[in-house]
Amino acid sequence: MITKEYYGKTQDGREVHQYTLARGGVTVRALDYGGRITQILVPGRSGPVDIVLGYDDLAGYEADPSHLGAYVGRVANRVENARFTLNGQEYQLAVNNGPNFCHGSWDRQVMPAEIEGDTLLLRWHSPDGEDGFPGTVEAEMRYSLDETGALTLDYRAVTDADTPVNLTNHSYFNLAGAGSGSVLEQFVQLHASKFTPANEVSCPTGEVLPVAGTPMDFTAAKPIGRDINAEYDQLRWAGGFDHNWCIDGAAGTLRPAAWAWCEATGITLTCETTQPGIQFYSGNYLKGQTGKGGALYHPRDAFCLETQHYPCAVNRPEFPSIILHPGEAYHEVTVYRFGRK
């Protein structure tokens, strides 16, 4: 069952609603403003724990510099120098991340929403030229909980012209509870034997390298903080982990991508996806903003597991393509499963 309630009005007068999904002992709340996931309540050893960062009101999300909980599009992650060439034409994008483009403007949109049984459906009509991209894209995002409390994110899109599409969710997880402080003692495992190294402005170089023998090796679960301060250019340039890992197995099939665990609460998080990559981000650029309940969110107070196609793929022909053509259907699925150990 999904319920709907009025949440507030944006500064320019658009009404925003919050939707509550509850099933299998898990409660998820999301806005039709940017598809923001505002709360995920899961059972911990001592009762329910809210494991995602967020704000107490709409004004917080409107001012948010960090994409907390957002549905990200039309292209997730970075495009180097905020430009690319497609079919012989160069496109200039919004410059919003140093010299780069990052994530796009969908997290600021109020999206038409429908409740379809146990599924929340958000639609977005992305017009030709939005954020500088060609073609009109009709996108859908579905949020649903199954009987076990697993959260499925189902992304779909079609276009009327060749255009890049790469969609994800930007929830910030802290399995000890939102606002509880550092996540450096929480464990993460990534089912990825390779990663895409980045340059000084966090854009991939085009290489795909093995993680073995480097601080990027999460093939066995380890505390996030174990290697985060290692003398390693990738970590120094990004201020911690903020990289794309290449998920083992065949892209397009739902398979394990990541696992996380907090000893204090016992909560586990398992991520499965059809996407080829996952951006593991250790919250390096949280800005000390005031979040839910007056908590301050400092760097490394959360982590993200952003399933995706590889960053800057539109400029890296050696990466799996993110170009969507007319007549094709973009469809990717990510599942977050919650448990206790």
Query: Could you give the residue numbers annotated as active site?
Result: 170, 306
**Distance in angstroms (rounded) separating the CA atoms of residues 322 and 316:** 10
CA 286, 261, 299 angle in degrees (round to 5)? 10
Report which of 171, 159, 81, 125 is spatially closest to residue 327, judged by C-alpha positions: 159
**What is the C-alpha to C-alpha distance for residues 274 and 116, in angstroms, rounded to an integer?**
23
Do 30 and 81 meet the contact criterion of CB atoms below 8 Å apart? no
User: What is the DSSP secondary structure assignment for residue 93, as one 8-state letter?
Assistant: P
207-216 burial by CB neighbour count: b if 16+ within 10 A, else e? eeeebeeebb
* Backbone dihedral region for residue 131 (phi beyond 0: left; psi -120 to 50: alpha; all else: beta): left
Which residue in 191, 174, 178 sits closest to 303, CA to CA? 174
3-state SS of the chain: helix, strand, coil percent to 5?
Answer: 10, 45, 45
Token pair belonging to 38: 């505002």
Residue 24 in contact with residue 43, Cβ under 8 Å? no
Q: If you ran DSSP here, which 8-state letter would residue 160 be given?
A: S
Cα–Cα distance measured from residue 12 to residue 171, given in angstroms and rounded to the nearest whole number: 25
How many Å is the maximal CA-CA distance in the chain? 59
Two structure tokens written together for 103:
């994530």
Is there a contact between 189 and 258 (Cβ–Cβ < 8 Å)?
Answer: yes
